[in-house]
Structure 1
Amino acid sequence: MNSYPLLKQVHLTCAFISIGGFLIRGLLMVRASPWFRKRSLRLMVDANDSLLLAAAVVMVVLSDQYPFVVPWVTAKVMGLLAYVGLGLVAFRFGPTLSIRLTAWGAALVVAGYIVSVAILKDPRGFLTGVIP
């Protein structure tokens, strides 16, 4: 039985939930909502992101499309590292609200880039028309 289509659906669903959750958490941060710091929210985010990453790793192995071998997969991994770093600045380490908001916005742009790379299977992603 080929489990790749199911894994891909799990990955896509978790990615949608992850990006949507990131957007909502940023809005909660802006509103200084007490929900922003709720442990239950962080646990749900961590559980979803763990499932997202696990599905991605298994898909990479099943498809033999490894980072640093396949350029668009490498771009997704590099984008993910940037997204995580910006998320840490946005939600934990940003010293001021303006820095946190800038990091949050930049992380959303990076998330869009990662999605565009996955759709186009091109490391340039949505920059395809800009970068030759």
Structure 2
Amino acid sequence: MDWFYGPMVQMHALLAWCSVGLFLVRGLGHQFGGAWVMDERLRTLVFSSHLLIVISGISLWGALHHDPLYEPWMTAKFIALGVYFAVGHWALGRGEFRVIGYLLALLALGYVAAVSVTRQVLLGL
């Protein structure tokens, strides 16, 4: 199991940080009107990184026998990921107040990262 767990956790974390970096840069570019943020190659890279994060996350979930029904931190992480996807989509849209969506998406991402590290819904507060 150690041959699988260590590298998979490292890959999952690296992909997550890459995804955060892509969202930071792409979101800022969009807030300032950059047309490059909707380039198909960049969008494919973002989608691919999200897909690999999901695959590695599901692999870890299965290998470690986590159950969101009995582990509230995982349920909170899934909910925060849903919030991130929703407000991140809003932030990269054409509507008003997209900067609020961008900030909320960053907040949700920060919470996801913190819950992943602490494994506590309230982050140890």
TM-score interval, smaller chain: over 0.9
Counterpart CA distance in 2 for 1:65 and 1:74 is 10
- TM-align CA RMSD: 1.2
Structure 1 residue runs of 4+, over 2 Å off? Answer: none
Give the superposition deviation at 1:33: 1.4
Paired residue for 2:70?
69
- SS of alignment partner, residue 92 of structure 2: helix
Paired residue for 2:7?
6
Code of the residue aligned with 2:72 in structure 1: it is P
Q: After superposition, what is the alpha-carbon deviation per residue over 1:67-111, rounded to whole angstroms, capped at 9, x for unaligned?
A: 22211111111110110011111113x512xx1110010110111
User: 2:91, 2:100 within 8 Å by CA — same for their partners in 1?
Assistant: yes
Q: After superposition, what is the alpha-carbon deviation per residue over 1:101-125, rounded to whole angstroms, capped at 9, x for unaligned?
A: 1001011011111111111110112
Code of the residue aligned with 1:30 in structure 2: it is Q
Matched, 1:119 2:117: yes
User: 2:68, 2:74 within 8 Å by CA — same for their partners in 1?
Assistant: yes
| Structure 1 counterpart of 2:104, from 103, 106, 113 | 106
Paired residue for 2:41?
40
- Same amino acid, percent of matched pairs: 27
- What is the TM-score of this pair, normalised by structure 1? 0.88
- What is the TM-score of this pair, normalised by structure 2? 0.93
Counterpart CA distance in 1 for 2:79 and 2:108 is 10
User: 2:77, 2:115 within 8 Å by CA — same for their partners in 1?
Assistant: yes
User: 2:31, 2:98 within 8 Å by CA — same for their partners in 1?
Assistant: no
Unaligned residue ranges in structure 2 (runs of 5+): none
Instruction: Number of aligned residue pairs: give it.
Output: 124
Q: After superposition, what is the alpha-carbon deviation per residue over 1:42-70, rounded to whole angstroms, capped at 9, x for unaligned?
A: 00000001001110001000011122221
Matched, 1:18 2:19: yes
Counterpart CA distance in 2 for 1:68 and 1:86 is 25
Paired residue for 2:95?
95
